[in-house]
Amino acid sequence: MRISVVIPVYNEEKYLDQCLKSIFSQTIQPYEVIVVDNNSSDSSIDIAKKYKVKIVKESKQGITHARNKGFELAKGDIIARTDADCIVEPNWLEKIKEDFRLNPDMLGIAGVTAYYDLPFPKYNMLLSFIFIKIVSVFFGSTVFIGGNMIITKKAWEMVKKDVTLDDSQVHEDIDISSHLGKYGRVLFDPHLLIIMSARRIKSNPQSFFIEYPIRLLKTILRKH
């Protein structure tokens, strides 16, 4: 069972090193780590070059394009996507393998997230848990949170022609979840944890509390 880790990157010099350090400090090592450079103009790629990663370029701007490029090039049986501002738990990859060993028919795994730079991380992890549970009800299948998205390569081949390319209108992680639900099940593992920066909430609260719910509604309406 080979795991490819995919990380979309756009000007992430402040966060990328700690992300890669956490991936290469795992209890088991990934088959490959793919860093998708989405037109970075800072030192992100110089940082990536310090690690044993495959660096690829995606010139079309947007996390969906970068994600798709990484997923297409992944050679592993399982694709584990995280974000450059995330830190994965030391047993993240080991837990992914164990989940698939116990649930071999699953198309993917959805884990939870917590913000390391907000107060009460256990509380905001609980909010992540509640969010996944509630939104999953609308789709009839488990939904992903982008920074902790695990999908089999086989499942990606099933849905790649259906997923949206416009992440300004819908949530790319929830969109892919909705398509996967047509073909099988996604496991929700509340113990599969990553921690991430709350920088987007802090820098633009309006985007998180107003625009984010609007895009969520559009994603739900697109599904139905």
| pLDDT tens digits along 159-207 | 999 887 766 666 677 788 888 988 999 999 999 999 988 756 545 544 4
pLDDT in tens, 81-107: 999 999 999 999 999 999 999 999 999
Quote the CA–CA distance of 39 and 44 in Å, as a whole number. 10
Per-residue pLDDT at 210: 43
Quick check: 209 pLDDT over 90? no
For 160-165, which contacts have Cβ atoms below 8 Å and span 24 or more sequence positions? 160/68, 160/71, 160/72, 163/64, 163/68, 164/64, 164/222, 165/62, 165/64, 165/65, 165/68
Quote the CA–CA distance of 203 and 179 in Å, as a whole number. 32
Per-residue pLDDT at 129: 66
Q: Quick one: angle between helices 172-180 and 121-139, nearest 10?
A: 50
Lowest-pLDDT choice from 23-27, 38-42, 127-131: 127-131
Quick check: 76 pLDDT over 50? yes
What domains can be seen in the chain, in order of their start residue?
Answer: 3-223 (3.90.550.10)
Beta strands in 10-53 (DSSP E): 32-37
Per-residue pLDDT at 202: 46
Name the pairing type of β-strands 186-196 and 86-88: antiparallel
Mean pLDDT for the chain? 86
Per-residue pLDDT at 186: 93
21: tokens are: 């350090």
